Amino acid sequence: MAAAADSLLIRAASGHPGGYPPVWFMRQAGRSLPEYRELRAGIAMLDACRDPAMITEITLQPVRRHGVDAAILFSDIVVPLVAIGVGIDIVPGVGPVVEHPIRTTADLDVLREIEPADVSYVSQAVRALVGELGGTPLIGFAGAPFTLASYLIEGGPSRDHARTKALMHGQPVLWGALLNRLAVIAREFLRIQLEAGVAAVQLFDSWAGALSRADYERYVLPHSRTVLEPLAEFAVPRIHFGVGTGEFLDLIHRAGADVVGVDWRVGLDEAARRIGPGAVVQGNLDPALLLADWPVLEAEVRRIVIEGRSAAGHVFNLGHGVLPDTDPDVLSRVVDLVHSLS
Ligand SMILES: Cc1c2[nH]c(c1CCC(=O)O)Cc1[nH]c(c(CCC(=O)O)c1C)Cc1[nH]c(c(CCC(=O)O)c1C)Cc1[nH]c(c(C)c1CCC(=O)O)C2
């Protein structure tokens, strides 16, 4: 732990950057890696997420291959919900699909509080990983209340989040009760990972960008704050990420984040300005550009590293997850390039 606490990621997150920005990739573990596809063959996603040896090996794969500056726990945002008994499956090529969508007060009963014993495989994997990783920090994560609520209300992935928004505006009491339960689950799931030894946490509010600034502030921010604020006691970086949240990056920060994840729509210099003094940012290469010719990609990486220097700290990452058909050698080359820039 002492070594991980001194890592580039932890230093950049507290606003004391070293020579080059630390680099890791959202969804660095997964289908872009042949060794992942081989290991996962014939094993369902949620079964893999409940097997400590599998979690450990898959988490380590991109660290070994790319030399990234952080590992992210192999899991999924729906894992804590499945662990407390919510009927959810992860369907390949689709995403999480919910057996009984949540649409009434009675439906909330299924969302009981999570206990460490519900996810002992996660604690076990974290402890093993902290030992294996040495000085490389391990990032734990959870899905944010809004993004989890969207899956639960819609019953699966949604383009427009229409039922979610209708419930948010039309049944604000039910909305508040649902988001509060999800916030407590996310916070306790992160606490379990922190107690097992993760060096940082990331809260994924992937779909928050579907909301207006005013609606985010009123209906979502208080609940994301319920997740993040009490975790300050662990004194580790709390990263808060969403896609399309450029209009309210300051609110993402205000919810209790030390590091604000930024997608590719806003430059990091402008993002730092929007967040305010002392801003630490994470991002923000467009994952689609990993499929472009190297000279194009190289120029983008250089631009992002330069723009990141106007923030108090910068963690190099993508603006969203690695796409499955990304060439893993390109990811390794991006890591080497970032490491050569100081
Ligand atoms: C929205 C969301 C989900 N899951 C997650 C989010 C938030 C991040 C984001 O916005 O991308 C979070 C997540 N899911 C996964 C990770 C692993 C850690 C990492 O390497 O980043 C993380 C951080 C593994 C996964 N989670 C999933 C996979 C793919 C399943 C497989 O390999 O069979 C992986 C590696 C499944 C999943 N789970 C989810 C989706 C949309 C999918 C993809 C469905 C598909 O295209 O098949 C829900």
- Could you tell me the residue ranges of all domains in the chain? 2-340
Tens digits of residue pLDDT in 198-218: 999 999 999 999 999 999 999
In our burial notation (b when 16+ CB lie closer than 10 A, e otherwise), range 217-238 reads bebbbebbbbbbeebeebebbb
140 lines ligand 1 (CB under 6 A): no
Nearest CA to ligand 1 atom 14: 76
Compute CA distances 154 → 149, 157, 160, 166, 314, whole Å.
Answer: 8, 7, 10, 11, 35
- State residue 27's pLDDT score: 97
Q: For a pLDDT cut of 70, what percent of the chain falls above it?
A: 98
User: Which backbone phi and psi does 214 adopt, to 5 degrees?
Assistant: -65, -45
127 lines ligand 1 (CB under 6 A): no
Residue 290 · residue 330 · CB < 8 Å: yes
Tens digits of residue pLDDT in 124-134: 999 999 999 99
- State residue 3's pLDDT score: 66
Q: For residue 239, what is the DSSP state?
A: E
Residue 311 CA to ligand 1 center (angstroms) comes to: 29
CA-based radius of gyration for the chain: 19
Residue 69 · residue 8 · CB < 8 Å: yes
User: How sure is the predictor about 342, in pLDDT bands with cuts at 50, 70 and 90?
Assistant: confident
Residue 207 · residue 146 · CB < 8 Å: yes
Which pair of tokens denotes residue 162? 């229409």
Complex-level ipTM: 0.93
Fold classification of 2-340 (topology level): TIM Barrel (3.20.20)
Checking if the pLDDT of 2 tops 60, the result is no
From 31, 66, 76, give the residue whose CB has the most ligand 1 atoms within 8 Å, as the site to mutate.
76
Tens digits of residue pLDDT in 253-265: 999 999 999 999 9
- State residue 265's pLDDT score: 98
Q: The pTM is what?
A: 0.97
Dist. CA 248–CA 260, nearest whole Å? 11
